[in-house]
């Protein structure tokens, strides 16, 4: 049975381009907990799918656990998603290039410091990519992460003030890895 | 002064750090000898660290190169190559003292053992098994020495592998690796070590202990079995029994190594996952960089890479942008909330306007007469107009540069040349004939660490 209260909040989030993650982070207690909104959709998946289909949206569920919606008529421009992808790839590259374990980016207790990202932004090779994706033009990396990743819950800031990938953010890298493995 | 071997050895054991340092050097550089210089430095450091004068003297005499050669601790001192090599047995003793310094058996060493067993089997076959046969006695003694040696090597090797697996697990299971860059790097180095140990030591040892897997050649344990059978057929059941016992003793390490293998497989999987993720990120990054670099052309239409990306490669395909989200929300429930929102904004802005006092500006403030750039522009124009620049002019830029530099002095900046040239062209451009020379490299004017590169402009009447 769909919860009226949860479904209204879910609609507001999904329609604004937010993702709904399996786990959500509680900064006060520094822990990951089950996300009631994710469970709500997961437990009533067929009903929610039908509901969104009736208003021309497709409810997308991806591994390892997040939902988002897209238009059924596919009229959404790709610019936003390319920006998100480019930003994630650049962050991933900075982490691995600096010598951190990739898990640093996925573990809610660890995360990557803003200083590390800012330091990397002084290098042209990163800014070249971001500028050609209309990113970091007049805004700094912090603002771009906030606008494109945190607001969509692809990343969150932990109690140490570090950036960490949510389920939706991790999912992108796991798909990237699978694709690389498949293509050999 | 000559110090006997036993005394020298006792001193070496009492001061193990000397040998450990030399062994570490050999392991690090993968060699069986050490440069004489390294040896002398090591001994010198040790002797200077000993405070008691008598002890220092005693060590100085015992660790003297001549004494170590004489006692046989050093088996080779090659002056022309500048190296010293220690007696292998002594190095092995020190390795036994410290498991961390024990060397694991590698594939080549296992193959060497297999060849020795094969040779022993071939040597035994034509022999007459008789206690009076000296050749048989020699081969038998050699065989048992060999089996004892193999047993001990395999035992040491499995102890070494167990120690390495424990050491690596202890570090790798620690969560703190994620919290600092230094520990992250250490964690990655250890994962590489796991892979090296797995590939170079564990797999060859398991192959060695496996009776079935040697495809082209006979497995070492089957060779021991065959030698045992040979002894049994020729009436030496007791010896055959002991050979069988050696085989079982060697084989008993299989389970231990298999367990170590399983322990390390977890990290091996982790290492593989890391490697794949790193490679995938690297590939995606390089692809993006390539696309970005392709946009660096003069064509302003290709400033962004959005069109160059294949829609199939977009992971969050169709994810709604914020603006479309807002539109959808505004039109929700058949009400166009934009109208209400705009009215609200108009009302709010009007209120704000009435609440704040408007800034008073006068014409003189808007006048840009005080703008330093306009002032300098006027000055440049005046200088160029007044200057006696008449055709033929070989290089207009250089002439204007010289004129402005002379007139403006400290105030002069290289970029003023461009404005000066433009002023000159505006005034004389119509009546003079201009010719531009395209030379490679372009001409340059340098001033106060600024450089202007340009194509020469000639003016003639």
B283-326 tens-digit pLDDT: 999 999 988 888 776 565 567 778 777 777 788 888 877 644 44
Q: How confident is the model at residue B360 (pLDDT cuts 50, 70, 90)?
A: low
Q: Among B85, B101, B117, give the residue marking a domain's end.
A: B101
Nearest Cβ partner for A132 among B295, B324, B328:
B295
Distance of CA A145 to the CA centre of its chain: 10
Residues 301-330 of B with CB under 8 A from A: 303-306, 309, 311, 314-322, 324-326, 328-329
Residue numbers in A near B277 (CB within 8 A): 96, 102, 173, 176-177
pLDDT recorded at residue B322: 62
**Residues B147 and B248 reside in one and the same domain:** yes
CB contact under 8 A, B321 and A80: yes
pLDDT recorded at residue B324: 46
Q: What secondary structure does DSSP assign to B311-343, as a single string? A: GGG-TTTTBPPHHHHHHHHHTGGG--HHHHHHH
**pLDDT at residue B238 is higher than 80:** yes
Nearest CA distance, A1 vs chain B (angstrom): 23
Q: Does A115 touch chain B (CB under 8 A)?
A: no
Q: Among B240, B262, B277, give the residue marking a domain's end.
A: B277
Phi, psi of B279 (to 5 degrees): -65, -40
**Residues B350 and B370 reside in one and the same domain:** yes
Interface test with A, best of B300, B310, B320 (most A CBs within 10 A): B320
Q: How confident is the model at residue B215 (pLDDT cuts 50, 70, 90)?
A: low
CA–CA dist B433, B191 (Å, integer): 74
With respect to residue B310, please indicate whether it lies within any of the assigned structural domains.
Answer: no
With 0.90 as the threshold, say if the pTM is over it: no
With respect to residue B35, please indicate whether it lies within any of the assigned structural domains.
Answer: yes
**Residues B9 and B97 reside in one and the same domain:** yes
CA–CA dist B156, A93 (Å, integer): 43
CATH of the domain at B209: 1.20.58
CB contact under 8 A, B320 and A128: no
Q: Which residue has the higher pLDDT, B348 or A161?
A: A161
**Residues B94 and B163 reside in one and the same domain:** no
CA–CA dist A96, B274 (Å, integer): 10
Nearest Cβ partner for B280 among A98, A128, A179:
A179
CB contact under 8 A, A78 and B311: yes
pLDDT recorded at residue B213: 64
Q: Give me the percent of chain B exceeding a pLDDT of 70.
A: 87
With respect to residue B384, please indicate whether it lies within any of the assigned structural domains.
Answer: yes
Both tokens assigned to B302: 């290709």
Q: How many helices (H) and strands (E) does chain B have?
A: 19, 7
Nearest CA distance, A91 vs chain B (angstrom): 10
With respect to residue B302, please indicate whether it lies within any of the assigned structural domains.
Answer: no
CA nearest B243: which of B121, B365, B352? B121
CB contact under 8 A, B314 and A85: yes
Nearest CA in chain A to B311: A78
Nearest CA in chain B to A170: B277
Nearest CA in chain B to A109: B179
Widest Cα–Cα separation across chain A = 53
Q: Does A84 touch chain B (CB under 8 A)?
A: yes
**Residues B127 and B198 reside in one and the same domain:** yes
Q: Among B70, B101, B132, give the residue marking a domain's end.
A: B101
Residue numbers in A near B178 (CB within 8 A): 100-101, 103-104, 107, 109-110
CA–CA dist B139, B231 (Å, integer): 12
**Residues B266 and B227 reside in one and the same domain:** yes
Q: How confident is the model at residue A91 (pLDDT cuts 50, 70, 90)?
A: very high
With respect to residue B331, please indicate whether it lies within any of the assigned structural domains.
Answer: no
> Mean pLDDT score of chain B, rounded to an integer?
83
Task: Give B257-261 contacts, CB < 8 A, sequence gap 24+.
Answer: B257/B158, B257/B161, B257/B202, B257/B205, B257/B206, B257/B209, B258/B206, B260/B158, B260/B161, B260/B162, B260/B165, B260/B202, B261/B198, B261/B202, B261/B203, B261/B206
With respect to residue B315, please indicate whether it lies within any of the assigned structural domains.
Answer: no
CB contact under 8 A, A110 and B179: yes
Q: Give me the percent of chain A exceeding a pLDDT of 90.
A: 61
**Residues B26 and B94 reside in one and the same domain:** yes
Nearest CA in chain B to A100: B184
**Residues B111 and B97 reside in one and the same domain:** no
Q: Give me the percent of chain B exceeding a pLDDT of 90.
A: 23
Mean pLDDT for B392-401 is: 88
Q: Does B280 touch chain A (CB under 8 A)?
A: yes
With respect to residue B147, please indicate whether it lies within any of the assigned structural domains.
Answer: yes
What is the enclosing helix (H) or strand (E) of A23? strand A23-26
Phi, psi of A74 (to 5 degrees): 60, 35
CB contact under 8 A, A81 and B314: yes
Mean pLDDT for A17-36 is: 93
**Residues B29 and B119 reside in one and the same domain:** no
Q: What secondary structure does DSSP assign to B169-210, as a single string? A: HHHHT-GGGGT-HHHHHHHHHHHHHHHHHIIIIIHHHHHHH-
Residue B384's CB is within 10 A of a number of other CB atoms, namely 25
Q: What secondary structure does DSSP assign to B254-279, as a single string? A: HHHHHHHHHHHHHHHHHHHHHHHHHH
Interface test with A, best of B273, B277, B296, B332 (most A CBs within 10 A): B277
Q: Which residue has the higher pLDDT, B305 or B109?
A: B109
**Residues B366 and B388 reside in one and the same domain:** yes
CA–CA dist A31, B277 (Å, integer): 25
Q: How confident is the model at residue B216 (pLDDT cuts 50, 70, 90)?
A: low
CB contact under 8 A, B311 and A179: no
The number of folded domains in chain B is 3
CB contact under 8 A, B178 and A109: yes
**Residues B125 and B259 reside in one and the same domain:** yes
Host domain of residue B95: 5-101
Tell me the pLDDT tens digit for each residue of B361-383. Answer: 444 444 444 455 678 888 888 89
With respect to residue B161, please indicate whether it lies within any of the assigned structural domains.
Answer: yes
ipTM of this predicted structure: 0.93
Interface test with B, best of A30, A64, A112, A176 (most B CBs within 10 A): A176
Tell me the pLDDT tens digit for each residue of B21-39. Answer: 999 898 888 788 999 999 9
**Residues B95 and B41 reside in one and the same domain:** yes
Q: Does A132 touch chain B (CB under 8 A)?
A: yes
Please count the residues of chain B: 461
Would residue B334 be called left, alpha or beta, if left means φ above 0 and alpha means ψ between -120 and 50 degrees?
left
CB contact under 8 A, A180 and B304: no
Residues 6-25 of A with CB under 8 A from B: 12, 14-17, 19
Specify the 3-state DSSP secondary structure of B389: coil
């Amino acid at each position: 049975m769909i919860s009226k209260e949860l479904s209204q909040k879910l609609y507001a989030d999904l329609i604004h381009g937010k993702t709904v993650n399996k786990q959500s982070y509680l900064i006060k207690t520094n822990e990951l907990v089950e996300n009631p909104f994710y469970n709500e959709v997961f437990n009533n998946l067929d009903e929610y799918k039908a509901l969104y289909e009736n208003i021309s949206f497709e409810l997308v569920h991806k591994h390892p656990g997040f939902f988002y919606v897209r238009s059924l008529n596919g009229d959404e421009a790709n610019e936003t998603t390319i920006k998100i992808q480019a930003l994630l790839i650049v962050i991933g590259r900075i982490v691995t290039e600096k010598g951190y374990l990739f898990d640093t980016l996925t573990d809610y207790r660890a995360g990557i410091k803003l200083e590390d990202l800012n330091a990397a932004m002084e290098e042209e090779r990163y800014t070249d990519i971001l500028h050609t994706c209309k990113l970091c033009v007049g805004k700094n990396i912090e603002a771009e992460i906030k606008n494109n990743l945190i607001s969509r819950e692809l990343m969150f800031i932990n109690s140490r003030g570090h950036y960490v990938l949510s389920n939706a953010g991790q999912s992108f890298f796991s798909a990237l890895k699978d694709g690389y493995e498949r293509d050999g | 002064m000559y110090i006997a071997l036993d005394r020298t050895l006792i001193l070496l054991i009492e001061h193990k750090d000397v040998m450990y340092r030399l062994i570490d050097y050999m392991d690090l550089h993968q060699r069986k000898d050490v440069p004489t210089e390294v040896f002398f430095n090591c001994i010198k450091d040790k002797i200077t660290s000993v405070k008691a004068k008598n002890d220092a003297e005693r060590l100085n005499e015992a660790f003297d190169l001549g004494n170590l050669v004489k006692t046989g601790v050093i088996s080779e001192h090659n002056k022309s190559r500048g190296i010293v090599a220690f007696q292998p047995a002594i190095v092995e003793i020190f390795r036994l003292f410290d498991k961390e310094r024990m060397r694991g058996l590698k594939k080549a060493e296992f193959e060497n053992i297999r060849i020795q067993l094969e040779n022993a089997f071939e040597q035994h076959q034509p022999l007459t098994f008789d206690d009076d046969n000296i050749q048989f006695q020699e081969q038998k003694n050699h065989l048992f020495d060999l089996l004892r040696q193999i047993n001990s090597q395999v035992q040491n090797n499995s102890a070494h592998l167990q120690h390495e697996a424990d050491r690596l697990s202890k570090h790798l299971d620690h969560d703190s690796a994620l919290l600092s860059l230094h520990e992250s790097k250490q964690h990655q180095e250890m994962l590489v070590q796991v892979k090296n140990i797995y590939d170079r030591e564990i797999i060859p040892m398991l192959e060695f202990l496996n009776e079935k897997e040697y495809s082209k050649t006979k497995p070492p344990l089957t060779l021991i079995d065959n030698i045992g059978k040979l002894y049994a057929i020729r009436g030496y059941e007791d010896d055959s029994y002991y050979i069988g016992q050696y085989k079982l003793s060697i084989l008993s390490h299989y389970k231990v190594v298999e367990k170590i293998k399983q322990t390390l497989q977890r990290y091996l999987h982790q290492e593989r996952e890391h490697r794949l993720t790193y490679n995938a990120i690297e590939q995606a990054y390089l692809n993006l960089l390539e696309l970005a670099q392709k946009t660096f052309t003069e064509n302003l239409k290709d400033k962004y890479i959005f069109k160059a990306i294949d829609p199939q490669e977009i992971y969050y395909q169709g994810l709604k942008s914020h603006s479309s989200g807002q539109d959808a929300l505004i039109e929700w429930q058949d009400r166009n909330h934009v109208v209400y929102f705009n009215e609200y904004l108009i009302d709010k802005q009007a209120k704000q306007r009435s609440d704040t006092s408007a800034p008073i500006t006068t014409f003189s403030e808007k006048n840009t007469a005080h703008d330093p750039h306009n002032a300098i522009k006027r000055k440049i124009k005046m200088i160029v107009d007044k200057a006696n620049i008449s055709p033929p002019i070989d290089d207009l830029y250089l002439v204007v540069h010289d004129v402005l530099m002379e007139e403006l002095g400290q105030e002069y900046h290289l970029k003023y040349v461009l404005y000066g040239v433009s002023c000159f062209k505006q005034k004389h451009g119509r009546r003079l004939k201009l010719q531009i020379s395209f030379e490679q490299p372009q001409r340059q004017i340098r001033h106060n660490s600024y450089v202007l590169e340009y194509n020469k402009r000639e003016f003639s009447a």
